[in-house]
Amino acid sequence: MKRTRIKQLLEEQTTGKNVRVCGWVRTFRNNQFIALNDGSCIKTLQCVLDFENFPEGTLKRITTGAAIEVKGEIVPSQGRGQSIELKVTELQILGDSDPEKYPLQPKRHSLEFLREIAHLRFRTNTFGAVFRIRHAAAFAIHEFFHNRGFVYIHSPIITGSDAEGAGEMFQVTTLDLNDVPRKETGEVDFKQDFFEKATNLTVSGQLEAELGALALSDVYTFGPTFRAENSNTSRHLAEFWMIEPEIAFADIDDDMDLAEDMLKYIIGSVMEHCQEDLEFLENRLIQEEKQKPQHERSAMALREKLQFCLDNEYKRLTYSEAIEILMKSKPNKKKKFQFVIEQWGADLQSEHERYLVEKHFNKPVILTGYPKEIKAFYMRLNDDNKTVAAMDILFPGIGEIVGGSQREERLDVLQARMKEFDIPEEEMSWFLETRRFGTCPHAGFGLGFERMIMFVTGMSNIRDVIPFPRFPGNADF
C-alpha cells in the first residue's frame, strides 16, 4: 500500500477507505490518541488505536518525536477538533525518540533555542510553516519568469570579480595557509593556487546575468551569494540567496514594472497556496507582539499587510523628492529619527524608508534617481551627471526589498565610473567587451530571497527564514 500524505487526506475528507500514513508523533494521549504530522501541512491527523490490541511495549515507544507507520480506515471523528480520524489496525515504530532526551517537547520554545538545534527545528509548527512558504515562494519565482519567456542562468559561485566593489568577500584557496607561497615582492603567489589567480565566493550573479541578457534578451539567476560583512544583526547573513533578472532593450521604467509585477506574483501565489501556514504565522505574530508596547507592534496583521501590497499601485518618486519629504517631516524636525536627514546626498536608512511607506504615502514606494556617490559603478549615469538610474522598492515593516538599475551601456562612461571606484579594467575586460560588441540599453534588479521570506512570513530575524544560517562566528551543520 502506497503512503498517503496527511495533507491529501485532510483536503479530500473521504471516509471509508483504508490508507497507510507515516509521520512523527506530536502527542500521544490516554494510550489511545496519536497526533501525527508528516510535514505536508501544518495540521496533524488524529490516529485512534484500541490499546488492548497492541503490546504494552509498543505503546511505551509511541513518544513525542518518534517516527511511525500506521494503517487503518479513515472514519468520521467522534471527538471535537477534527472531522475525520484514522482508526488504526496496524502500527509500526520506524524510529524511537527518547522522551528524556528529545529537545522538542509539546510546549513553546524560543526562536533562539531553536536556532541552536536547527537540525530539528523543521519539526515545529513555526518552521514547518516558514519552510513550506519558502518553497512556495521559490516555485512562484521560477513560474513567474518561465511564463514570461526568461532563461534561467546558473551564475558561478566561485568568481574572480567583486560585483559590488565593496571588498567584503570570502576568499577561495587551496594554498597551505601554514606555508603560503610568496613572490619576491612578498605578495602571495596565486599562480600556485588552484585557479592560478585570487578568487572568492560570489557577492552577486548580476554581472554574469548581464552577459546572458546581451545575447538571450531576458534572463534571471537564482542562487546563493556571500558577504564577509561582520554584521551581527537580525537583517544580515553571510550566505543568502538572490534573484537577479536582467532584461535587454529595457530602461529603468521597464525595470520597475518587472519588479512590481514579480513581487505581486510571489505574494499572490503564497496567499493562494499557503493560507493555513499564513494564518498560523499571523496568530503567532499577534501573540508575540502582545508583549511589546503599542507603538512597536505591526500596523497591520500579516495577511492584511500582504493584501495591502497586492491591492496598491506602488508610488514612484525620485530620491530628491523623498529627501524633501523627509527633511520636512515631523520625526526629522523633532530629531526623532536616529539618523537625521540634513542634506541631499544622505544614504537613506530603514527608518526613513519605512516612514515614506507607512506614514507618508501608505503604500509601497519605488525610489529612483539616487546620488551616484552612494550607488554601484555599473548603474547608468543620468544626464544631470549627479544621479544614476537606480531604483529601490520599499515595503511596509522592512524598508528596501528590491534594488536595481538601468545598467551603464556606454563604454566610455563605464570606464570613467570604474576609475572612480578604483576597479582595474584588466580584471573586468570580459565585462567591458559586452559594451564594445553590440551594446544596448539594459536593466535589472536584485531581490534578497530571505528578505522576501521575512516579509511574507512575518518573521523578525533573517536567521529564521533560511534552514541553516551562516553569520559571524557560526557555520554549524
Does residue 196 lie in a domain region?
A: no
Domain boundary among 80, 106, 132: 106
Does residue 132 lie in a domain region?
A: yes
Shared domain for 70 and 218, answered yes or no, is no
Does residue 477 lie in a domain region?
A: no
**CB proximity list for 251: less than 8 A, separation 6 or greater:** 389, 406, 441, 443
Does residue 154 lie in a domain region?
A: yes
Total number of domains constituting the chain: 2
Shared domain for 51 and 147, answered yes or no, is no
CA 296 and chain centroid, separation: 23
Nearest to 161 by CA among 392, 446, 432, 451: 432
Shared domain for 310 and 449, answered yes or no, is yes
Shared domain for 77 and 147, answered yes or no, is no
Does residue 419 lie in a domain region?
A: yes
pLDDT tens, per residue, the chain with 477 residues: 999 999 999 999 999 999 999 999 999 999 999 999 999 999 999 999 999 999 999 999 999 999 999 999 999 998 888 899 999 999 999 999 999 999 998 888 999 999 999 999 999 999 999 999 999 999 999 999 999 999 999 999 999 877 665 568 999 999 999 999 999 999 999 999 999 999 999 999 998 999 999 999 999 999 999 999 888 888 889 999 999 999 999 999 999 999 999 999 999 999 999 999 999 999 999 998 888 888 778 878 999 999 999 999 999 999 999 999 999 999 999 999 999 999 999 999 989 999 999 999 999 999 999 999 999 999 999 999 999 999 999 998 888 999 999 999 999 999 999 999 888 888 889 899 999 999 999 999 999 999 999 999 999 999 999 999 999 998 988
DSSP lists the bridge partners of residue 45 as: 36
Q: What CATH number has the domain bearing residue 276? A: 3.30.930.10
Q: What CATH number has the domain bearing residue 52? A: 2.40.50.140
Angle between helices 252-273 and 275-289 (to 10 degrees): 90
Three cell numbers written together for 393: 522598492
Does residue 88 lie in a domain region?
A: yes
DSSP lists the bridge partners of residue 72 as: 19, 88
Shared domain for 410 and 319, answered yes or no, is yes
Q: What is the 3-state secondary structure (H, E, C) of 73-130?
A: EEEECCCCCCCEEEEEEEEEEEECCCCCCCCCCCCCCCHHHHHHCCCCHHHCHHHHHH
Shared domain for 57 and 150, answered yes or no, is no
**CB proximity list for 52: less than 8 A, separation 6 or greater:** none
Domain extent at residue 154: 123-168+203-464
**Cβ(423)–Cβ(165) below 8 Å:** yes
